[in-house]
Amino acid sequence: MALRPRYAILAIVIGTMLAVIGWFMLSEVRELTDHAEHTIASVQGDTATFTTNAGSEVVISMEGRCKNFDRRPGGGCAREFAVGDEFLLNYDTTEPTHFWTGATPGGGKATGTLYSGIVLVAVGLITLLLLIRMPTLTRRKPPAA
C-alpha cells in the first residue's frame, strides 16, 4: 500500500473535526465547572447529607456508590461507604442533586477528543509535508559528463 497525499488530507480533515468537537465538549464542561461548588458530605445509612453554600440541606442516595475500587481488571468494589464517613462532594449550584466526586464529568472525554484531533492534524501535516518534499530530496542528479 502506497502512502498517498489523500490519506494525509483525510487525516487533517478528520483531525480538525475531532478538535472542533472536543473544543465544543470542553465549553460545555467549562459551563458546568463555572457553577459548581464543593463541600463535605456525611454518610448516614443509604443516604448522604450535605449543606450547600446557600444553606440548604440536601439528602442524596448512596446506593451503589463505592468508596474504593479494586484496581485489577474485572475487580469490583473494594470498600463501601460506612455510616459516619465523610467525603468531598462536588455539586451543581443550579441543581444540587446533580453531584459527583472527582473530576468534572465529561472533562476527560472532551480533553481526549480535543488532543486526539490535534495529534491527527499534526500527523497529517507532517505526512503531507514529507510526501511533497521527499521526491525532491531523493531525486537523483544526472551524472556529470
| Amino acid identity, position 120 | L
Residue pLDDT, tens place only, 112-143: 999 999 999 999 999 898 888 877 665 566 66
Q: How many CB atoms lie within 10 A of CB 39?
A: 15
Whole-angstrom Cα distance, residue 32 to residue 47? Answer: 24
Whole-angstrom Cα distance, residue 48 to residue 65? Answer: 11
pLDDT of residue 5: 83
| 90, 107 contact by CB (below 8 A) | no
For 42, the 3-state DSSP assignment is: strand
Phi-psi map region of 55: left, alpha, beta (phi>0 left; psi -120 to 50 alpha): left
- Prediction pTM value: 0.66
Query: pLDDT-derived band of residue 9, with 50, 70 and 90 as boundaries?
Result: very high
Residue pLDDT, tens place only, 37-87: 889 999 888 888 999 888 889 898 877 777 777 777 777 777 878 888 888
Per-domain boundaries in the chain = 9-31+103-134, 36-93
Residue 37's alpha-carbon distances to 52, 53, 84, in angstroms, are 8, 8, 22
Whole-angstrom Cα distance, residue 46 to residue 59? Answer: 10
Residue 29's alpha-carbon distances to 35, 94, 97, 137, in angstroms, are 10, 15, 18, 47
Q: Please, which residues have CB within 8 angstroms of residue 128's CB and are 6 or more apart in sequence?
A: 5, 8, 9, 12
Strands 57-61 and 66-69: unpaired
